[in-house]
Structure 1
Amino acid sequence: MHTDKSKTTDTNQSRKKLSILLELTHFVRPYLGRAIMAAAALIITAGLTLSIGQGVRLLIDQGFAQQSIEQLKHAVQFILLITVLISIGTYARFYLVSWIGERVSADIRLAVFNHVISLHPSFFETTKSGDIMSRLTTDTTLLQSIIGSSLSMAIRSALMLIGALFMLFATNIKLTLIVLCAVPFILIPILVYGRKVRALSRKSQDSMSDVGSYAGEAIEHIKTVQSYTQEAQEMQSFQAEVEQAFTIGRRRIQQRATLIAGVIIIVFGAITGMLWVGGSDVISGHMSGGDLGAFVFYAILVASSLATISEVIGELQRAAGATERLIEILQASSLIQSPNATPVKAGTLAAQIMMKNVNFHYPSRPNQAAADSLSLTIEQGKVLALVGPSGAGKSTLFELLQRFYDPQSGQILLDNVDIRDLCVQDLRQQMAIVPQQPTLFSSNVMHNIRYGNEQASDEQVIEAAKKAHAHEFIMALPDGYNSFLGERGVRLSGGQKQRIAIARAILKDPHILLLDEATSALDSESEYHVQQALETLMHNRTTIIIAHRLSTIQHADRIAVLDSGQLIEIGSHDHLMQSCELYQRLVKLQFNPA
C-alpha cells in the first residue's frame, strides 16, 4: 500500500512539473509567428543535416570506390552546398529562438514585478525580498537560457533522432536493431537520475535565493554590522550559506554527470558493436562501404541526439524548478482588492473618518490584537494626535486607513462609506504619509519629491521644497535638485530626509495627512520651520499625527490615547491631564524623566 502511494505521489509530481512547464506557453503565444518560423528553420536544418549521410555514401561508393574524381567532386560539392544551407538555417533558428528566449524572459520578469508590486503587505511578512529578487533575476535568466537555447537543442535533437532512426532502418535493418537494443538501457538512467536532478534543482535554486537574501540584508545594514564589529561573524555565517548552496549544487551536478556518462557509455558501446557487425558485412560483401559510412553517420547522429537530450533533460528539470518558483508568485493573490462594481469616487467624499468596533490581528501575530474593539471618529479638517506606549496600535491605524490590511471585523468609513467599497488606488490617492523613517529612492532630489505627483512641474517641486524648508540645503548640494542621493538617500542627514519626505507630501496635496513622528529627526530650529510649513499644509485638511513631543500634541484639536490596540481616552491636552492616568504618565516621563 505504501509503495502504491509513493508511485501515485511521483506521478502527481511529474504531472505537476509538466503543467508548470506548460505555463510558459502563455508567454510564448504572443510570439507564435516567430516560433513557427524558428520551428520551420529547425525542421529544414534537421532534414539538411540528415541528407549529409547520403553525401557521405556518394563520397565513398562513387568517389573512393570507383576512383572517380568527377564523382568525388560532385559528392564534395553536394556536401558543401548542404553545409552552407545548414549554416543559413542555423543562423535563422538561433536568432529567432534566442530572440524569443530574451523576449519571454523579459515578459515574465515584467509580469512577476507588476504582480508583486500590487500584492498586500502581509505577503512580504512571509516572503523575503531577497527571494523575490532571486526569482526576478536568476530564475528568469535561467528560463531565458532554457527557452533560447536548451529547448531548441532538445527539439532539434528529437527531430534528428527520429529522422536518423528512419534513415538507419532504410539503410540496414539488422544493424539498426543492434543500435536499438541499447535504447531501454538509456531510458533507465534518464528516468532514475532525472527525478533526482529535478528535486535537487529546486533545492539548488532555493539555496541560492537564501544566499542572495543573506548578503542583501548584511549589506543593507552595513553600518550596524560594522558598528557592532560583527564583520567576522557575518563572513562566517555567509560562508555557511554559500557552502550549503555549493553542496546542493555539487550533488545536482554529480547526478547530471552520472546521467550523461551512462548514456554515452551505452550509446557508443552499441555503436562499437554495430561497427564490428557492419565491418564484417562490408568485408563479406553483404553491404557497401558507402552504406556503412552513411549508417555510421546516422548512428552517430542518434548517439549525439540521445546524449544531448539526456543533458537537456537536466536543464529542463532546472527550468521546471525556476518556472515553479515564478508561477508561485504569479498565482499569489492579493488579499486587498478593489470592488468589482464601479466604486464611489473617494475624491468626492468628505475627509471624515470613522472607525466602528474595529478588531485586527497581524497575520504574523494572530494571537496579539493590534486593534481591539476600536471605535474612533476623526472630523473633517481637524487634527487628531495619537499617543500611547510602543505597541499601542498607533501605526496600525495608519496601515488600516490606507488598506494595507483589512480588519477581521468592524468597519472603517470615509464620509459614511466603507473604505472596502472604494477603489484602493483612489483611496490612497487622497492620503499622504510622512513616516518616521522616510523612504528615499536611488535617484535625484527632483525625482524623490516629484514622487508625490508625477505630473508636477519643476517649479511646483521647488515650491513644495521651499514650503518644507528644504530648498536651501538642496541648493547647497553639488548638483542642486539633480543631485543623486544614493541608495535610500544615504547622502542626506536624517533631518534632510525628513524634509524631502514632507516636500513630497506637500506636492501630493492630499485631503488626509498621516504624520508619523514627522519632526522626530529634526533639530529645534528645523523643527520650528517645518512645523510652520505643516500647519499651513494641515489647514482645512484632516490630519492624524502619531506623536510623543508636546510641541506636536499642543496644536491638535483632539488627542487619542491608545494602549494595546484599545482607545483609553480622547480629548484635549488639559482634559487628559485631568482624567487619563496613562496620558499623565506619558507626559511625566517625557518632561520629568528622573
Structure 2
Amino acid sequence: MLSWIWSYLRPYRWQVLGAFVALVFTAVMTLALGQGVRLLVDMVFSEGSLEGLEEALTVFLWLAAALSLGAYCRMYLVFWLGERAIADIRRDLYKHLVTLQPSFFEENLSGEIQSRVTTDTTLLQSVIGSSVSFALRNVLIFVGGLGLMVASNLKLSLIVLSVVPLVIFPLLFFGRKVRQLSRDSQGKVADVGAWAGETLQHIKVVQAFNGEQRVIDRFNHTVEDAFTVALRRVRQRALLVALVMVMVLGSVAGMLYIGGRDVLQGALTAGDLAAFIFYAIMVAGSLAAVTEVWGELQRAAGAADRLRELMATKPDICSPKEPVSLPAVAGRIRFDQVSFSYPSRPDQNALDNISLVIEPGERVALVGPSGAGKSTLFELLLRFHDPKSGQVLLDNYPLPDLALEQVRQRYALVPQQPILFSTSVYENLRYGSPEASDQDIKRAAIAAHADDFIQQMPDGYHSFLGEQGIKVSGGQRQRLAIARAILRDPRILLLDEATSALDAQSEHYVQQALDQLMEGRTTLIIAHRLATIAHVDRIVVMDKGRVIATGPHDELLSSSPLYRRLAELQFRSF
C-alpha cells in the first residue's frame, strides 16, 4: 500500500522532504525534553538552586517553542500531502472508470463503485494526512528514545527491550486479520450505501407498492451485517492494543523497581533515573501508538486494495495504439456476418449471423418484438461491445481499427429513455456540442419543440433540472434529448423510438424537426410503433437476433408474416 501511495507522493518530493525534516525536528525536540527533566531534578530539586530552576525552565520553554513551530510545519505539510495525493487518486480513478465499457457497470453496483471513490479514498486520506505521519514520528521517538536509554543505562534498557519481540508477533498476527476484516467492512458499508441510494432514487415505486417497511427491513439487515463485521475488526484491534499495553507497562514496572533500588544504593542519580523514566515512557508510548496506528494502516490497506483492484480493471473496449485516420464520413454502415452474446448470457446469441448494409443517407427502421436484437445493433455501432464474430464497418473501416472518439463523434443517439444530468438546461444540451453558443442551443431547442416549456421554467435555460432531470416530464426529457442530437449535427442518427413519450401535438412538431434533421444523413430508427416509420426508405424486420425480412411497408405486409402480425395488432385497418 505504501509503495502505491508513494507513486502519488513522488511528484511532490520537496513537500515530502519538508514534512520529513519537520517530523525529525519535532521528534528530536520531544526527546530533548528529557534532558530538561534531568537538569530540573539534579540542579533544582537535589541542589535546591533557584538559578538552576530558572535556567531549566528557560531551556524547557525554548524547547517547547521549537517543538510547537515544528509541529505546525509538520501538520501543515503532511495534511497538504494527504489532500493532494487523494485528489490525484480520485482524479485518476474517475478518469479510469469513464473509460470502462458499459457492461462493467451492468455487472457491478453503481453504489459500490461510488463507495470506493468516496468512502475508501476518504479513509485513505486520513491515513496519509495523519496516521502515517503519526506513525513515523513515533517510530523516530522509539528509535531515538531507545538510543538515549541505552547510552544512559544499559542494564535498565535491556529490561525494556525484552518486551519488544513480544510486541512484534501480535502486530503481525492481528494485523493480517484486521486488514481482511477492514476490507470486508468496507464492502459491507458499500452495500449499505448502494441499497440506500437505489431505494431513494426510486422512492416513488417504493411508496406506490407500499414497500417502505420491506426496504427498511432489508436496509436494517444490511446495516447489522456491516456492524457485525466492523465489531469483529474493532475487537481484534482492541485485543492487540491491550496485549501491547500489558507487556509494555509490565516491563516499565520492572525497570522502575531496579532503577529505584539503584538510586537508593547510590549507583544512579535521581536525575538520571528521571530522564531514563521519561525516555522509557516515550518509548513505551510510541510503541503503543504505533500499535494503534498499525490497525489504522491495515484498515487503509484494505481500502487501498479495493481501489487498486478497481484501477487494475482493464477496459475490454479501447482505441487501437495506431488508429486509422478516418476521413470525412459518408455514413455507410455494414454488419458483416455479425454474431454477439452478452457476457451475462454467453450461451444465448443476441445477434445471430447478421448481415446488413445501410447506404449513406438512407433511412432504415428496425422492427421486431422485444429481444429481437435491435438495441444490440446500436450498442455495437457505438462500440459499447465488440461482436463475437464478424465485423461492423463504418465507411468500409472496421470499428476496432478506428479511435473510439472518432467513431462516436459521427453519431447522435436519442434513446427511448433519455438521460439528463443534474445540472442546467444549457449544460444538458451542450453535451451534444460542448462548443455551441447559447444561440445555437436555443435554435436546437426550438427545432425540437422544447423552447416553449424551457422559457416557462423559473430560470429559463439556466434552470436546474434536478437529479436525472426529475423536474421535467418524460415527454419534455425526450424533447431535450432530441434538441441535444440536433445540436450535435451528426452524420449518422440513431433514434430509439425517439417520439414514444410525446403527446400527439408535440410528436407532430418533433417529427417535422426529425424529418428535417434526417435530410442527407444516415438514420437508423428502432420502431415499436409502426405509425412513426412511414417516412423511412426501408424497414428491417428482426426476430431472435436475425434479419428475417427487409423492404418497404407495403411489400412487407404481404411477404413477412411477423411484420403483418405486428401491423395488424397496431392498426386493424391495414
TMscore range, shorter length:
over 0.9
2:558 paired with 1:589: no
Query: Which residue of 1 is the match for residue 36 of structure 2?
Result: 55
Contact conserved, 1:21 with 1:323, CA < 8 A, in 2? no
> What is the CA distance between 1:192 and its match in structure 2?
2.0
SS at match of 2:58: helix
SS at match of 2:412: strand
> What is the CA distance between 1:113 and its match in structure 2?
0.5
Query: Which residue of 2 is the match for residue 6 of structure 1?
Result: none
Contact conserved, 2:323 with 2:401, CA < 8 A, in 1? no
Query: Which residue of 1 is the match for residue 559 of structure 2?
Result: 579
TM-score between both structures, scaled by the size of structure 1:
0.95
> What is the CA distance between 1:189 and its match in structure 2?
2.0
**1:530 alignment partner, one of 506, 510, 531:** 510
> What is the CA distance between 1:540 and its match in structure 2?
0.2
**2:336 alignment partner, one of 350, 356, 368:** 356
Query: Which residue of 2 is the match for residue 539 of structure 1?
Result: 519
Give distance in 1, aligned partners of 2:25 and 2:244.
27
Query: Which residue of 1 is the match for residue 278 of structure 2?
Result: 297
Query: Which residue of 2 is the match for residue 367 of structure 1?
Result: 347
Query: Which residue of 2 is the match for residue 323 of structure 1?
Result: 304
2:212 paired with 1:212: no
Contact conserved, 1:385 with 1:556, CA < 8 A, in 2? yes
Query: Which residue of 1 is the match for residue 153 of structure 2?
Result: 172
2:95 paired with 1:114: yes
> What is the CA distance between 1:196 and its match in structure 2?
1.2
Contact conserved, 2:319 with 2:404, CA < 8 A, in 1? yes
**1:99 alignment partner, one of 64, 70, 80:** 80
2:397 paired with 1:425: no
**2:180 alignment partner, one of 199, 216, 229:** 199
SS at match of 1:122: helix
Contact conserved, 2:329 with 2:491, CA < 8 A, in 1? no
Give distance in 1, aligned partners of 2:3 and 2:107.
28
Query: Which residue of 1 is the match for residue 462 of structure 2?
Result: 482
2:168 paired with 1:187: yes
* Deviations 1:446-494, CA, capped at 9 Å, x for gaps: 1111111110000000000000000111111111111111101111111
Contact conserved, 1:27 with 1:107, CA < 8 A, in 2? yes
> What is the CA distance between 1:550 and its match in structure 2?
2.3
Moved more, 123-132 or 486-495: 123-132
Contact conserved, 2:540 with 2:551, CA < 8 A, in 1? yes
* Deviations 1:263-288, CA, capped at 9 Å, x for gaps: 11111111111111111111110100
Query: Which residue of 2 is the match for residue 497 of structure 1?
Result: 477
SS at match of 1:376: strand
> What is the CA distance between 1:261 and its match in structure 2?
1.3
Query: Which residue of 2 is the match for residue 514 of structure 1?
Result: 494
Query: Which residue of 2 is the match for residue 409 of structure 1?
Result: 389
> What is the CA distance between 1:433 and its match in structure 2?
0.5
Gaps of 5+ in 1: 1-19
**1:440 alignment partner, one of 420, 430, 440:** 420
Give distance in 2, aligned partners of 1:494 and 1:558.
29
Contact conserved, 2:430 with 2:436, CA < 8 A, in 1? yes
**1:570 alignment partner, one of 530, 550, 561:** 550
Query: Which residue of 1 is the match for residue 21 of structure 2?
Result: 40
> What is the CA distance between 1:342 and its match in structure 2?
4.1
* Deviations 1:474-519, CA, capped at 9 Å, x for gaps: 1111111111111011111111000000000000000000000100
Give distance in 1, aligned partners of 2:456 and 2:114.
36
Query: Which residue of 1 is the match for residue 45 of structure 2?
Result: 64
Give distance in 2, aligned partners of 1:315 and 1:520.
54
Contact conserved, 2:329 with 2:410, CA < 8 A, in 1? no
Give distance in 1, aligned partners of 2:260 and 2:62.
30
Identity rate, percent: 54
* Deviations 1:195-241, CA, capped at 9 Å, x for gaps: 21111000000100111111111111111111111000000000000
Return the letter of the residue paired with 1:496.
Q
Give distance in 2, aligned partners of 1:442 and 1:125.
21
Give distance in 1, aligned partners of 2:463 and 2:25.
56
> What is the CA distance between 1:364 and its match in structure 2?
1.2
Return the letter of the residue paired with 2:332.
Q
**2:264 alignment partner, one of 283, 286, 291:** 283
Return the letter of the residue paired with 1:31.
Y
**2:143 alignment partner, one of 157, 162, 166:** 162
Query: Which residue of 1 is the match for residue 59 of structure 2?
Result: 78
TM-score between both structures, scaled by the size of structure 2:
0.99
Gaps of 5+ in 2: none
Query: Which residue of 2 is the match for residue 13 of structure 1?
Result: none
2:265 paired with 1:252: no
2:7 paired with 1:26: yes
Contact conserved, 1:443 with 1:484, CA < 8 A, in 2? yes
Return the letter of the residue paired with 1:72.
L
> What is the CA distance between 1:184 and its match in structure 2?
2.0
Give distance in 1, aligned partners of 2:432 and 2:106.
26
2:366 paired with 1:386: yes
Contact conserved, 2:475 with 2:503, CA < 8 A, in 1? yes
SS at match of 2:372: coil
Give distance in 2, aligned partners of 1:550 and 1:163.
83
Q: How does 1:106-145 map to 2 (within 5 A)?
A: 106-145=87-126
Moved over 4 A (4+): none
Contact conserved, 1:344 with 1:421, CA < 8 A, in 2? no
Query: Which residue of 2 is the match for residue 261 of structure 1?
Result: 242
Moved more, 26-35 or 123-132: 123-132
SS at match of 2:357: strand
Contact conserved, 1:125 with 1:364, CA < 8 A, in 2? no
Contact conserved, 2:368 with 2:563, CA < 8 A, in 1? yes
Contact conserved, 2:80 with 2:129, CA < 8 A, in 1? yes
* Deviations 1:86-115, CA, capped at 9 Å, x for gaps: 110010000000000001011101110010
Return the letter of the residue paired with 2:460.
G
SS at match of 2:435: coil
SS at match of 1:305: helix
* Deviations 1:403-438, CA, capped at 9 Å, x for gaps: 000001101111111111111011101100000000
Give distance in 1, aligned partners of 2:528 and 2:110.
32
